């Protein structure tokens, strides 16, 4: 698939029909990535993102997947920064449990406190203006923070998919018995336990 075809499909799987100008803006990003990396981006957007990402979010995704390095991003050369990988965007994972308008884990990006982040337009909220600390404190060797968040997003999404399947089975099994008492609150609790982002990682 060419970048153009990839992008058309990417819009289509999210039920979107883009305006020409909008399409071209996204296409510029894909062309800059090259076809191979664009495919990876496409797969991520198709499988992991609930809503079609904004341009801002696309850059966050590209960054968290490690698809672009500083040279390719054509930014000034910045010092390596753990929080943003030197690109300026710090992701935050949003859980569908907390944000009822989404159905799967998704990320939003904020501006980093390093020079790369400070160079981003004012429209990007500064991560550390809003949050005292990182959402996830754990450190994975060889991974910067956006890459860690990306890994966790995939991990939590998989757990959520699995759990949703189990719940369906449970409901089916229980409906033949006394459904009323083994109600949804109990199930909800189970889901919370398994799919919830660990509370100690939260603010």
Applying CB under 5 A, the residues found at the interface with Zn ion are 81, 83-84, 112, 114, 117
Considering the complex, state which of residue 59 and residue 83 has its C-beta at the smaller distance from Zn ion.
Answer: 83
Considering the complex, state which of residue 83 and residue 136 has its C-beta at the smaller distance from Zn ion.
Answer: 83
Least distance (Å) from Zn ion to the CB of residue 25?
24
**Three state DSSP letters for the chain:** CCHHHHHHHHHHHCCCCCCHHHHHHHHHHHHHHCHHHHHHHHHHHHHHCCCCCCHHHHHHHHHHCCCCCCCCCCCCCCCCCCCCCCCCEEEEEECCCCCCCCCCCEEEEEECCCHHHHCCCCCCCEHHHHCCCCCCCCCCCCCCHHHHHHHHHHHHHHHHHHHHHHHHHHHHHHHCCCCCCCCHHHHHHHHHHHHCCCHHHCC
Least distance (Å) from Zn ion to the CB of residue 108?
16
Considering the complex, state which of residue 104 and residue 144 has its C-beta at the smaller distance from Zn ion.
Answer: 144
Considering the complex, state which of residue 130 and residue 194 has its C-beta at the smaller distance from Zn ion.
Answer: 130
Residue count (the chain): 203
Least distance (Å) from Zn ion to the CB of residue 16?
31
Considering the complex, state which of residue 7 and residue 134 has its C-beta at the smaller distance from Zn ion.
Answer: 134
Least distance (Å) from Zn ion to the CB of residue 73?
13
Least distance (Å) from Zn ion to the CB of residue 84?
3
């Amino acid at each position: 698939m060419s970048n153009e075809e990839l992008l058309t499909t990417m819009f289509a799987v999210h039920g979107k029909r883009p305006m020409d100008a909008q399409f071209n803006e996204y296409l510029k990003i894909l062309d800059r990535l090259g076809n191979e990396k664009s495919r990876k981006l496409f797969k991520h957007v198709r499988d992991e993102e609930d809503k079609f990402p904004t341009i801002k979010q696309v850059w966050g995704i590209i960054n968290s997947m490690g698809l672009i390095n500083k040279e390719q991003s054509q930014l000034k050369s910045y010092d390596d920064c753990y929080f943003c990988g030197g690109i300026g965007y710090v992701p935050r994972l949003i859980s569908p449990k907390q944000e009822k308008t989404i159905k799967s884990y998704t990320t939003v990006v904020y501006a980093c406190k390093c020079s790369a982040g400070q160079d981003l337009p004012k429209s990007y909220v500064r991560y550390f203006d809003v949050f005292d600390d990182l959402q996830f404190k754990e450190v994975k060797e060889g991974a910067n923070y956006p890459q860690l968040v990306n890994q966790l997003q995939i991990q939590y999404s998989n757990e959520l998919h699995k759990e949703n399947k189990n719940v369906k089975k449970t409901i089916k099994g229980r409906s033949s018995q006394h459904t009323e008492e083994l109600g949804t609150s109990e199930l909800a609790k189970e889901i919370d336990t398994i799919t919830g982002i660990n509370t100690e990682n939260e603010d």
